[in-house]
């Protein structure tokens, strides 16, 4: 009996000093923000009709994270504005017997984001985030690349959510 109490106390003391914290850990500038609005992305590239897809993917990821309530802009504490600034495609792998033909492409989407306080108009956070993916060439390269953009949007949403909700 004495040993189990002593072991339980030792375990509690040992585990209490590990530095873990339950609950949310928001970045310092975002401590007062409880609700966010995510308007449609702005697109400064030549890729058409991707703005809504990227915004929807980010909203779904922020809802999964649960750190902020996603609401309309008139009800939000802050607005998360995002601008797609660059989409870069590069050859990752060539065909085995033909170095001029590409079998795998890399896709990098670069987005500039700013979080603006709705009450004061001050910029709470800003930064640049990348979303990356790769895709293989096939008969219909445009369709394959469009599907790869959805994967890059998911990676980008994960990265923005990590910065806005956790600070890294």
> Per residue in 11-46, pLDDT tens?
665 655 555 555 556 677 788 899 999 999 999 999
Residue 18 falls inside a structural domain: no
State the residue range of the domain holding 74.
26-166
> Per residue in 65-112, pLDDT tens?
988 999 999 999 999 999 999 999 999 998 888 888 889 999 999 999
C-alpha R_g of the chain: 22
Closest CA to 34 of 134, 110, 118, 149: 118
Residue 55 sits in a domain of what CATH number? Answer: 3.30.160.150
Q: Give kind and range of the element (H or E) at residue 101.
A: strand 98-117
SS3 labels along 31-47? CCCCEEECCCCEECCCC
84: buried, middle or exposed (CB in 10 Å: 19+, 13-18, 0-12)? buried
Task: Supply the pTM of this predicted model.
Answer: 0.82
Locus of tokens 């985030």: 129
Task: Say how many domains are in the chain.
Answer: 1
């Amino acid at each position: 009996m004495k040993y189990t109490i002593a072991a339980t106390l030792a375990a509690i003391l040992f585990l209490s000093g590990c530095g873990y914290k339950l609950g949310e850990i928001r970045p310092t500038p975002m401590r007062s923000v409880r609700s966010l609005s995510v308007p449609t992305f702005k697109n400064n590239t030549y890729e058409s009709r991707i703005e809504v897809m990227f915004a929807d993917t980010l909203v779904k990821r922020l809802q999964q994270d649960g750190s902020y309530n996603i609401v309309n802009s008139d009800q939000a504490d802050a607005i998360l504005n995002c601008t797609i600034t660059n989409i870069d495609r590069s050859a990752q792998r060539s065909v085995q017997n033909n170095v001029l033909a590409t079998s795998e492409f890399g896709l990098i989407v670069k987005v500039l984001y700013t979080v603006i306080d709705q009450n004061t108009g001050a910029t709470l956070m800003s930064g640049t985030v990348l979303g990356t993916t790769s895709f293989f060439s096939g008969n219909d390269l445009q369709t394959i690349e469009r599907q790869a953009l959805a994967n890059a949007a998911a990676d980008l949403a994960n990265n923005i959510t990590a910065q806005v909700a956790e600070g890294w």
